[in-house]
Amino acid sequence: MKRSGAGPTVLIAGAGVAGLTTALALHRAGVPCLVAEAVSHFDPIGAGINILPHATARLHALGLESELAKRAVETRESVFFNRFGQLIFREPAGRHAGFPHAQYSIHRADLHDVLLTAVRERLGPDAVLTGHRLIRVTQRPGGVTAHFDGRGELDAEVLVGADGIHSAVRRQLFPDEGEPRYSGVTMWRGVSTWPSFLSGASMVRAGWLTTGKLVVYPVRDLPEQQLVNWVAELETPRGAHRDWTRRGELDDFLPAFADWRFDWLDVPAMLAAASQILLFPMVDQDPLPRWSHGRVTLLGDSAHPMVPRGSNGAGQAILDAAVLAECLAAQPGDPVAALEEYDRRRRPPTSEIVLLNRRTPPDAILREVYERTGDRPFRHIDDVVSQTYLAEIAARYRVATGQVRTA
């Protein structure tokens, strides 16, 4: 890599949301970088992603919000129901709740395309090397060498491991870490073309894990309909290996939702309308004692894989990228110190979110009602729990994850 800016040359392992956002943030800060990705071509895989306002603010600073708004649905509200379709709690989201930036719901493939297009336009068509699977990294005085499977080596001054939940960088730094921690819950994900429901921009959480929990929200507006993302969750014995592309079967979870027919959504019909279903065990890993090791650091899922509750996985990776760029630009002559500062600023808050997502994510609202009612319909929600108490649960999570309102 050749130096072309004020900061150290940075090699980013991984061209997912985390790696591409990091490249854009570094470029904006004047730090030269290159992205190396394991896959040889990008397929439109995955399902929906929610980008919370604090992450949208960082994408706005990178000049991406207008393009994001064209591809996404701006979320208006967050709504909670029990499995009988009874409303538990509703609150506005994003700008509708007084945040300076929107909350967006978007298909992962659309978000990835926005980021990849921007990287190639701003950094050049060769800024992302595909087919480069990182197997290990070695450090030497003044730099690092990345070793790739069948693709030789690349030298840089800093290496950022943004290579996801199966991170080769994390595995090298922590070879004795062990297997991920299974939460006891499996999720099935899909997208269905479906008529709009509720506000047409509602993020819905319903039911509870013991008998079946559903998260559903639109991610793309279509002529007369929407592309709707859904996540079905059930407590299950562990069985699946963690792989975002693993296929699932409708019959394995549909019975839990067979009678979920509400006046605003026919859940079993919507689930059956999906063109494909993905299966994923809800796992995370204990927070690490450190991310930065000399001139090597971790970022995104490789640094803090978390249970996917609270819509914070992609958002925290975006925040990581912004802070890393700030740190490297602030100390261009001392990348080791810059990575230590990045570690100091980002590791503690993301560690807390990993643990918070285990204990009290926003869907703890559903757990509260499930336990208080014994999984039975209620006459009125105020007879079960106050709206003030439910609002406090939601507010505590926002504060803990760094979401600050302006009003």
Strand spans (E) along 52-178: 73-74, 77-81, 87-92, 104-107, 128-129, 134-140, 143-148, 152-156, 158-161
What is the per-residue pLDDT for 1? 52
Pairing state of beta strands 212-221 and 202-208? Answer: antiparallel
What is the enclosing helix (H) or strand (E) of 127? none
What is the per-residue pLDDT for 404? 63
Pairing state of beta strands 128-129 and 134-140? Answer: unpaired
Catalytic annotation present for 217: yes
- Crossing angle (nearest 10°) for helices 17-28 and 108-123: 30
Q: What is the DSSP string of 182-216?
A: EEEEEEEEEEEEE---TTSSEEEEEEETTTEEEEE
Give burial (CB, 10 Å; 0-12/13-18/19+) of 23. buried
What is the per-residue pLDDT for 307? 84
Which is the catalytic residue, given 104, 217, 370, 397? Answer: 217
How would you list the strands of the sheet with 296-298, edge to edge? 128-129, 33-36, 10-13, 158-161, 296-298
- Is 0.85 topped by the overall pTM? yes
Task: Read off the pLDDT of residues 82-134 as tens digits, 9 standing for 90 and up.
Answer: 999 999 999 999 999 999 999 999 999 999 999 999 999 999 999 999 999 99
Task: Read off the pLDDT of residues 258-274 as tens digits, 9 standing for 90 and up.
Answer: 999 999 999 999 999 99
Query: d(Cα 86, Cα 64) in Å, to the nearest integer?
Result: 38
What pLDDT tens digit does each residue of the chain (407 aa) get?
555 555 569 999 999 999 999 999 999 999 999 999 999 998 877 789 999 999 999 999 999 999 999 999 999 999 999 999 999 999 999 999 999 999 999 999 999 999 999 999 999 999 999 999 999 999 999 999 999 998 899 999 999 999 998 999 999 999 999 888 888 899 999 999 999 999 999 999 999 999 999 999 999 999 999 999 999 999 988 755 666 677 889 999 999 999 999 999 999 999 999 989 999 888 889 999 999 999 999 999 999 999 887 778 899 999 999 999 999 999 999 999 999 999 999 999 999 999 988 887 778 899 999 999 999 999 999 999 999 999 999 888 887 777 765 54
What SS3 state is found at 177? coil
**Which two three-digit tokens encode residue 158?**
């800093």
What is the per-residue pLDDT for 407? 42
The closest alpha carbon to 329, from 315, 339, 343, belongs to 339
Cβ-contact 14, 37 below 8 angstroms: yes
